[in-house]
């Protein structure tokens, strides 16, 4: 169950669009919420890293390392504060480790240990997009997100949203078999892939349905499925 909650909290995507609203002072930006990015990794395929900033100034950070010999999870907890001018958020873990983020309108930018922007070919990967919380009925719609399957359940999180769903396979689509074929010899429990799929929205089937999930989806047809990489992560 703890792994399921972690997956529900860190899995997502970054396909957000600009809203055309008037300029907002950085001091007026509300930083509380959920953020996600796909970070580079020298020894694995990537790191899906989620950060939750709570209203009580506490934070949770979960890092999902995938694409190596084994998938692994690391979690951190602590407190955060904003600088006086509101331009930065400083996270301090319970172990005393600090991470700085630059505050922008709808995202945070992770900074290096000296508090400077990371200047490299992977600079865009250090942008943590804020996830939307709105929910809609997905019946008959084509959606894109991060899909993964473990021994007991399959999970799908929409690009750019906090909404995470349990996936119930269809005998006519055979999503789970196609997922296994795509991974081949690299298969490990909960290996993420990018999935674009037309779905049937089954809602929440029972009152005791796990609170971390928005409902149950059943695939109607698969539009595309590919390994999760920086160049495929929630790209339009």
pLDDT at position 18: 32
pLDDT of residue 6: 47
Q: Read off the CATH number of the domain in which 52 is found.
A: 2.40.128.640
Q: Which of 78-92, 96-110, 222-236 has the lowest mean pLDDT?
A: 222-236
| CB 60 within 8 Å of CB 51 | yes
Give Cβ neighbours of residue 17 (< 8 Å, ≥ 6 apart): none
Q: How do residues 120-136 score in pLDDT, each as one tens digit?
A: 888 888 999 888 877 78
How many domains does the chain divide into?
A: 2
Do residues 62 and 37 both lie within one domain? yes
Pick the closest to residue 110 from 58, 159, 158, 40 (CA basis): 40
**pLDDT for residue 20:** 40
The tens digit of pLDDT for each residue in 130-161 reads: 888 777 899 999 999 999 888 788 999 999 88
Say if residue 147 is in the same domain as residue 110: no
Range of the domain at 97: 2-14+26-130
**What whole-number distance in Å separates Cα of residue 112 and Cα of residue 195?**
32
pLDDT for 232 equals: 83
Phi-psi region of 184 (alpha: psi -120 to 50; beta: other; left: phi over 0): left
In a shared domain, residues 123 and 149:
no
Instruction: Give residue 53's pLDDT.
Output: 94
**Are residues 65 and 162 located together in one domain of the fold?**
no
């Amino acid at each position: 169950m703890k792994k399921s909650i972690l997956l529900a909290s860190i899995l997502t995507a970054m396909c957000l669009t600009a809203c055309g609203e008037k300029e907002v002072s950085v001091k007026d930006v509300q930083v509380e919420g959920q953020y996600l990015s796909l970070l580079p990794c020298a020894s694995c395929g990537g790191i899906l890293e989620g950060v939750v900033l709570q209203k009580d100034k506490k934070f949770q950070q979960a890092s999902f390392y995938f694409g190596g010999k084994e998938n692994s999870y690391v979690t951190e907890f602590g407190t955060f504060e904003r600088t006086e001018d509101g331009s930065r958020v400083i996270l301090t873990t319970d172990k005393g480790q600090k991470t700085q983020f630059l505050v922008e309108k709808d995202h945070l930018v992770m900074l290096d240990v000296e508090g400077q922007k990371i200047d490299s070919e992977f600079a865009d990967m250090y942008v943590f997009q804020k996830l939307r919380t709105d929910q809609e009925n997905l019946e008959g719609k084509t959606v894109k997100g991060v899909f993964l399957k473990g021994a007991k359940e399959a999970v799908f999180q929409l690009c750019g949203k906090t909404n995470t769903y349990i996936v119930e396979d269809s005998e006519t689509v055979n999503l789970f078999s196609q997922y296994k074929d795509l991974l081949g010899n690299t298969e490990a429990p909960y290996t993420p892939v990018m999935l674009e799929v037309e779905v049937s929205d089954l809602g929440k089937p029972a009152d005791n349905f796990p609170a971390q999930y928005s409902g149950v989806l059943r695939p109607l047809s698969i539009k595309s499925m590919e390994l999760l990489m920086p160049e495929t992560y929630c790209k339009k």
